[in-house]
Amino acid sequence: MNMKTSVHNQFQGKVTNVKQGAVNDEIELEVAGGKKIIAIVTHESSDRLGLQVGVKAFALLKSSSIIVATDYKGAKFAARNHLQGTISQVKSGGVNSEVIIVLEGGASIAAIITNESCKLLGLAVGMSATAIFKASSVIIGTKT
């Protein structure tokens, strides 16, 4: 996208489903590689943005809102979004690490997790990993 923000995770896509509610709407956005991102936005925002099936939109997601999982072991999560891929980079800082996961279709997603979590999970380049995040953590926008 040709937009400057502090958010590393920016996904362009198309709205493929809208479930309207009295207060909030659930928006399904299909992004690169056929991946789906679910967002919860207020009904007012949905109307203001003109979110309906077929509309081009983008999703923004802060890296710190992402949980990295390497093995579910049959666990289920309330978080709606699960994007699976391969770790392409792990960069450690003083307290946190940035983990980049490349998704099928070429897109990538960045997560900021503690160094302790990175060590505990044994995260390394080439490992399979899943980025998990809540629908309420996704910001949806459209171009005017």
pLDDT band at residue 5 using 50, 70 and 90 as cut-offs: confident
Tell me if domain 9-62+135-141 and domain 63-133 are identical in fold.
yes
Could you report the per-residue pLDDT of 37-96, keeping only the tens digit for each?
A: 999 999 999 999 999 999 999 999 999 999 999 987 778 889 999 999 999 999 999 999
Q: Which CATH class is domain 63-133?
A: mainly beta
Q: Cite the beta strand spans of 9-142 per DSSP E.
A: 9-19, 24-31, 36-42, 56-61, 67-69, 81-92, 96-103, 108-114, 128-133, 139-141
Q: Which neighbouring-strand residues pair with 132?
A: 67, 82
pLDDT band at residue 130 using 50, 70 and 90 as cut-offs: very high
pLDDT at 71: 86
Q: Which CATH class is domain 9-62+135-141?
A: mainly beta
Percentage of the residues of the chain whose pLDDT score is greater than 90: 83
Is 67:83 a contact under the CB 8 Å cutoff?
A: no
* Residue type present at position 127: M
Tokens of 54: 């077929």
| Extents of the domains making up the chain | 9-62+135-141, 63-133
